[in-house]
């Protein structure tokens, strides 16, 4: 579900950022041989994500620390429930506390938001996907959290697929020219997606044999017409101004995919604490 080598690299960089010359307070106050036990506790209801990543924090600091999962990623927890136990060096538990919490709080916030969106269209044949509107450097972890919450991933980066957007079309001259130029220069395994803003552009994208067509900022009635016009000749993705209130109406008209930037770009972190006992 995630690349463990990349996850370790992310955590190492974050640890360097947080204590490039050590932890002044902990190194002075805490005895080298002190051993403690601590609990991670959910301070509000939500869906947990990032426990294996939090474990990496403590393992990189001290491979003798024991990290015990009480809950698993994807589980719904209530306020006050324990989600993990950490046992080992007091110094290293304290050094990893903030980073581990920052990661699991953000990832759980994303998973909780994704879960709410997924529940909203339960029973429909429409997938909710994320976007590239992620925190720089944390995309892999945030997209993993989206999947934990029950939604799906769009492309991970600019290399994954072709997405011809409005500025590409303006620069080249037309949808047909853009698709033709791209198709001559990509592998047969690469999909081509085209962003359109009206039904005329939709027809152009269909005639150019685009694999996926993004309906950008269209109202429900226009999207309904777009579904009828396309008639399964391309995958239709609804995007722009997507809210949890509008999502069911979009799914009802039969679009295949709905991309939601809110899953990652402005999510509220879930409140989780770590307490030494």
Q: Is 98 a catalytic residue?
A: yes
Of 87, 120, 133, 225, which is the active-site residue? 133
Q: Is 165 a catalytic residue?
A: yes
Of 142, 195, 201, 237, which is the active-site residue? 195
Of 165, 170, 200, 268, which is the active-site residue? 165
Q: Is 216 a catalytic residue?
A: yes
Of 59, 71, 87, 98, which is the active-site residue? 98
Q: What are the CA-CA distances from residue 250 to residues 32, 75, 133, 201 (Å)? A: 58, 28, 21, 20
Q: Is 256 a catalytic residue?
A: no
Q: Is 71 a catalytic residue?
A: no
Active site amino acids? 98, 133, 165, 195, 216
């Amino acid at each position: 579900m995630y690349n463990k080598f990349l996850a370790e690299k992310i955590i190492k960089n974050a640890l360097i950022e947080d204590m490039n010359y050590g932890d002044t307070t902990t190194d002075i106050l805490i005895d080298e041989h002190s051993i403690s036990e601590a609990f991670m506790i959910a301070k509000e209801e939500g869906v947990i994500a990032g426990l294996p990543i939090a474990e990496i924090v403590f393992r990189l600091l001290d491979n003798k620390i024991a990290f015990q999962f009480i809950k698993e990623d994807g589980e719904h927890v209530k306020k006050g429930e324990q989600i993990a136990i950490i046992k080992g060096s007091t110094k290293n538990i304290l050094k990893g506390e903030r980073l581990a919490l920052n990661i699991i709080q953000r990832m759980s916030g994303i998973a909780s938001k994704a879960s709410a969106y997924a529940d909203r269209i339960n029973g429909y044949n429409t997938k909710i996907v994320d976007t590239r509107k992620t925190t720089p450097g944390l995309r892999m972890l945030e997209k993993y959290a989206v999947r934990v919450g029950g939604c799906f991933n769009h492309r991970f980066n600019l290399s994954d697929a072709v997405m011809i957007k409005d500025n590409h079309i303006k620069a080249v001259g037309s949808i047909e020219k853009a698709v033709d130029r791209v198709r001559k220069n990509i592998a047969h395994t690469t999909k081509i997606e085209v962003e359109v803003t009206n039904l005329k552009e939709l027809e152009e994208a269909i005639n150019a044999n685009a694999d996926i067509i993004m309906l950008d900022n269209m109202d429900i009635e226009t999207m309904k017409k777009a579904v009828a016009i396309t008639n399964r000749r391309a995958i239709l993705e609804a995007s722009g101004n997507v809210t949890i209130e509008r999502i069911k109406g979009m799914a009802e008209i039969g679009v295949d995919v709905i991309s939601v930037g809110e899953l990652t770009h402005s999510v509220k972190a879930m409140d989780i604490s770590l307490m030494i006992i």
